[in-house]
Structure 1
Amino acid sequence: MKTINMTVNGKVISGAAVEPRTQLADFVRDTLNLTGTHIGCEHGVCGACTLMVDGVPARSCITLAVACDGAKITTIEGMDDDEVMIALRAAFQREHALQCGYCTPGMLASAHDVVLRMPDATEADVRFAMSGNLCRCTGYVGITKAVLSVIEARRAAGVTKPVELRGEIGPVGSGHAEAMAADAIAKAASSSATTAKAAPAKTAATRAAPPVDSSKPMTTIEQTFTVEFPREQVWEFFGKLDQVTLCLPGASLLAPPTETHVEPKLRIKVGPIVADFEGAADVERDPANYVGMIYGSARDTKSASATRGEIRYTLVETQTDEGAAATRVDVQVGFALTGPLAQFSRSSIVLDIAKRMTDAFAANLRARLSHTGGADEAPPMPAAELNAGALVFSVIRDRIVGFFRKLFGGK
């Protein structure tokens, strides 16, 4: 969980706990009970969820709540006394600019921005500016007339100067990125003996997990493996996110990690297809119970494929057959794939592939735990890419072999 502070409709919200993947629309609706913000497509297309972030209209269904830490949020409920909004509501009613009303809160938020920014707008200008808000009922004629009537009334009253609230290029709310990074650095510095550990936090803290479709249910897989090392040693290693990441074949780092944040890149090959997933993940660790949680998402830089996932691992103290200290690692993975590569998560074969990937991870983990760091000893290197196609082929081959063994009475 992340703790955020923001001002919503003039009210200061302090210490709100949200998951890193929570969208702003879900936060204002579910946590703050401001249900005037409507959710439609959940892809940033229809505009029903539009609200104001620092005075600028934003799609709240594709805006992470943690990215708005320190921002000023205004929903439709917070615009009751706004002069422009009062005029727009009256114009919408007068020009019959709404029917079912579902799109109206987002439509009004966008219209508010148009009225302020475009005092000389023509009908064509208004239609183009409002084209990002979809309506299934009105045909847009009444909406266009309503917005134009407010612009014309303000122009007649001598209000002709445009109001531009966007002060910089970039995503809405991006002006708070520096403040968020500074806060992350301060927290890291307070819990660290040296400031050297806090320095890379600024690089990693500024990248949020890529937003992906959260509506698709996750596939859950449970795996277990054992490594012949004491639990304390394994737990300490799992805290080194750079080392743990490189235990996965095809994985590399986009930026230096912090104690709780990592930005991995995973290269996957499926036949002639090569996907490069880039993303970010946050880590929570419970040293009292030897339990860790990882939340993250990633997107392929070459296609529309995306993934989100949650990993929970538990370290259990055990022994080898010879009585030496060992650690059993129980892993529960929940993941969802969307886009062209989603087909590889729709078959039971994925369970066998996950087992083989777990075996590869365990082998790399053992190799790195065994690495003493001597001058003449190079650390184990990860595979250049994860060959999912080869994994699929080997799974099918083993299943065919197993089938014929059973058929002819073999073992």
Structure 2
Amino acid sequence: MTTIALHVNRRAVELSAEPRTSLADFVRDRLDLTGTHLGCEHGVCGACTVLLDGVPARSCITYAVACEGADVTTIEGLDEDEVTTELRAAFTREHALQCGYCTPGMLVAARDLVLRLPDADERRIRVGLSGNLCRCTGYVGIVRAVQSVIEARRARNIAPQADAGRTHLGPAGSGRATSTRDEPRRATQASAPASESAAPGRIPDFTPATVLDQRFTLPHPPAKVFAMFDDIAAIAACLPGVSLTAPPKPERVVGLIRVRLGPIAAAFEGAARVERDPATLSGRIVGIGTDQRSHSATQGEIRYRLVPLEGGAATAVELSIGYTLTGMLAQFGRPGLVRDLARRLIAEFAGNLDRHMSGASPEQAAELSFWSIASDVLRARLARMFGRVFTGKGGAE
């Protein structure tokens, strides 16, 4: 076994692997990044394409040990990438996917074309995508999707990048420095504390994969509620499973949220930034976090707006919650269940908020137990279902 130290999706990773292990097997089996697909395993079909030091590479024929010190980006690491976001929307619009098996590698290759081609020339796009095979679509929708993104970006005066930012000739990854002067830098990166990698210096904007709208009321004036939302430590104390790990600042809040889903326990370490607009009594919280144990990552955005009720004596809090979850825990993110869980969590948060503003202590749980919440949700669903059975459709007698 050989210990490999590299960066995967901007996170320092140091794990052991056999010398024969491919990069594709390494990211799938050791990091649970299963968005990288294996097809031919001969470097022909392109389903396994990832970015190696920013350059598209076939991960099925690249040995993981050969990537020592490299920066690897899988499809999961492109969740917040501007070009990939545009391509995803275009693939949907142009019906550029069916079974979706080739899509991760196709998006990585298409991103490279969008960055470097000067115009949306169909022939050059087809040549550029010729290393990515699709058995479903016939490629017409894929080509149109890539064309539309290139045309839109060039119309916005976004110039192509010469060679898509490549600075070295040779195979992907061959531009990495191998001299001894880089060893201290690599050692520092490999030994960086988990909290540093989980709490990046810049909290990026992103496009959420799922958005939920929620609303609750508080028997307090909007000005008082808005002032409460400015007390980050107090707000954190009202959220189940949340704790701060450093003194909060508006531009950067560092913390931890503990989650338990049956036998699975996760602790998402991360950071967030807070934006507020007193003129409209609204604000936004954008955060990012990772769980080292499950190799899962999440990005979240909460937008809130306060609406006066009862002549200003009460407040309606309108929330828009957006999130993207990748890794092992993503398999539990079924929209219907998540929506019901969000309702329960918001109810707990609202209750804690009301108690805090009324002078009582919030009832904060040490960790967010999805099992107990899911049990309540299941009971509520069963009650609704049997209610429809015994009272007729819509609950009417």
Corresponding residue number in structure 2 for 1:399: 381
- Of 354, 372, 380, the residue aligned with 2:362 is 380
- Of 31, 51, 54, the residue aligned with 1:48 is 54
Contact conserved, 1:268 with 1:386, CA < 8 A, in 2?
A: yes
The DSSP-based 3-state class of the residue aligned with 1:348 is: helix
- Of 285, 294, 297, the residue aligned with 1:306 is 297
RMSD of aligned residue pairs (Cα, Å): 4.2
Task: For residues 166-222 of structure 1, give each alpha carbon's deviation from its aligned partner in whole angstroms, at most 9, with x where no partner exists.
Answer: 6685349x9xxxxxxxxxxxxxxxxxxxxxxxxxxxx99x9426999x7x9510000
The DSSP-based 3-state class of the residue aligned with 2:188 is: coil
Q: CA, structure 1 residues 58+231, in 2 after alignment: closer, same or farther (shift >3 Å)?
A: farther
Q: Write the distance in 1 (CA, Å) between the matches of 2:366 and 2:292.
A: 17
Q: Write the distance in 2 (CA, Å) between the matches of 1:43 and 1:239.
A: 44
Query: Structure 1 residue 235 and structure 2 residue 226: aligned?
Result: yes
1:246-265 matches, cutoff 5 A: 246-265=237-256
Q: Write the distance in 2 (CA, Å) between the matches of 1:110 and 1:349.
A: 42
The DSSP-based 3-state class of the residue aligned with 1:170 is: helix
The DSSP-based 3-state class of the residue aligned with 2:391 is: coil
Corresponding residue number in structure 2 for 1:141: none
Query: Structure 1 residue 409 and structure 2 residue 367: aligned?
Result: no
One-letter code aligned to 1:385: E
Corresponding residue number in structure 2 for 1:170: 188
Q: Write the distance in 1 (CA, Å) between the matches of 2:286 and 2:55.
A: 25
- Of 208, 225, 230, the residue aligned with 2:200 is 208
One-letter code aligned to 2:328: P
Corresponding residue number in structure 2 for 1:349: 337
Q: Write the distance in 1 (CA, Å) between the matches of 2:208 and 2:47.
A: 17
The DSSP-based 3-state class of the residue aligned with 1:403 is: helix
Q: Write the distance in 2 (CA, Å) between the matches of 1:265 and 1:225.
A: 25
The DSSP-based 3-state class of the residue aligned with 2:238 is: coil
Q: How many residues align?
A: 250
Structure 2: which 5+ residue stretches go unaligned? 1-8, 11-45, 57-68, 82-130, 132-162
Give the CA deviation at 1:165. Answer: 9.1
Contact conserved, 1:48 with 1:105, CA < 8 A, in 2?
A: no
Percent identity of paired positions between Structure 1 and Structure 2: 35
Query: Structure 1 residue 222 and structure 2 residue 204: aligned?
Result: no
One-letter code aligned to 1:346: R
One-letter code aligned to 2:52: C
Q: Write the distance in 1 (CA, Å) between the matches of 2:289 and 2:280.
A: 29
Q: CA, structure 1 residues 271+110, in 2 after alignment: closer, same or farther (shift >3 Å)?
A: closer
Contact conserved, 2:216 with 2:318, CA < 8 A, in 1?
A: yes
Q: Write the distance in 1 (CA, Å) between the matches of 2:266 and 2:313.
A: 39
Q: Which protein has the larger Cα radius of gyration, Structure 1 or Structure 2? A: 1
Query: Structure 1 residue 333 and structure 2 residue 315: aligned?
Result: no
Task: For residues 63-85 of structure 1, give each alpha carbon's deviation from its aligned partner in whole angstroms, at most 9, with x where no partner exists.
Answer: 999xxxxxxxxxxxxxxxxxxxx
Q: TM-score, normalised by structure 2?
A: 0.53
Q: CA, structure 1 residues 168+342, in 2 after alignment: closer, same or farther (shift >3 Å)?
A: closer
Contact conserved, 1:235 with 1:315, CA < 8 A, in 2?
A: yes
Q: Write the distance in 2 (CA, Å) between the matches of 1:41 and 1:231.
A: 52
The DSSP-based 3-state class of the residue aligned with 1:357 is: helix
Q: CA, structure 1 residues 207+349, in 2 after alignment: closer, same or farther (shift >3 Å)?
A: closer
One-letter code aligned to 2:326: T
Give the CA deviation at 1:248. Answer: 0.9
One-letter code aligned to 2:188: G
Task: For residues 382-411 of structure 1, give each alpha carbon's deviation from its aligned partner in whole angstroms, at most 9, with x where no partner exists.
Answer: 211111112222112211111111111175
Q: Write the distance in 2 (CA, Å) between the matches of 1:294 and 1:113.
A: 37
1:107-146 matches, cutoff 5 A: 111=174, 114=177, 117=179
The DSSP-based 3-state class of the residue aligned with 1:280 is: strand
Contact conserved, 1:266 with 1:385, CA < 8 A, in 2?
A: yes
Structure 1: which 5+ residue stretches go unaligned? 1-21, 24-39, 51-56, 66-99, 118-161, 175-202, 372-376
Contact conserved, 1:49 with 1:59, CA < 8 A, in 2?
A: no
- Of 236, 240, 249, the residue aligned with 1:245 is 236
Give the CA deviation at 1:260. Answer: 2.5
Give the CA deviation at 1:308. Answer: 0.6
Q: Write the distance in 2 (CA, Å) between the matches of 1:163 and 1:298.
A: 32
Q: CA, structure 1 residues 324+111, in 2 after alignment: closer, same or farther (shift >3 Å)?
A: closer
Corresponding residue number in structure 2 for 1:367: 355
One-letter code aligned to 2:375: F
Q: CA, structure 1 residues 209+404, in 2 after alignment: closer, same or farther (shift >3 Å)?
A: farther
Give the CA deviation at 1:380. Answer: 2.8
Give the CA deviation at 1:114. Answer: 3.8
Corresponding residue number in structure 2 for 1:285: 276
Contact conserved, 1:209 with 1:297, CA < 8 A, in 2?
A: no
Q: TM-score, normalised by structure 1?
A: 0.52
Q: Write the distance in 2 (CA, Å) between the matches of 1:107 and 1:361.
A: 55
Q: Write the distance in 2 (CA, Å) between the matches of 1:304 and 1:351.
A: 24
One-letter code aligned to 2:284: M
Q: CA, structure 1 residues 168+346, in 2 after alignment: closer, same or farther (shift >3 Å)?
A: closer
Contact conserved, 1:210 with 1:297, CA < 8 A, in 2?
A: no
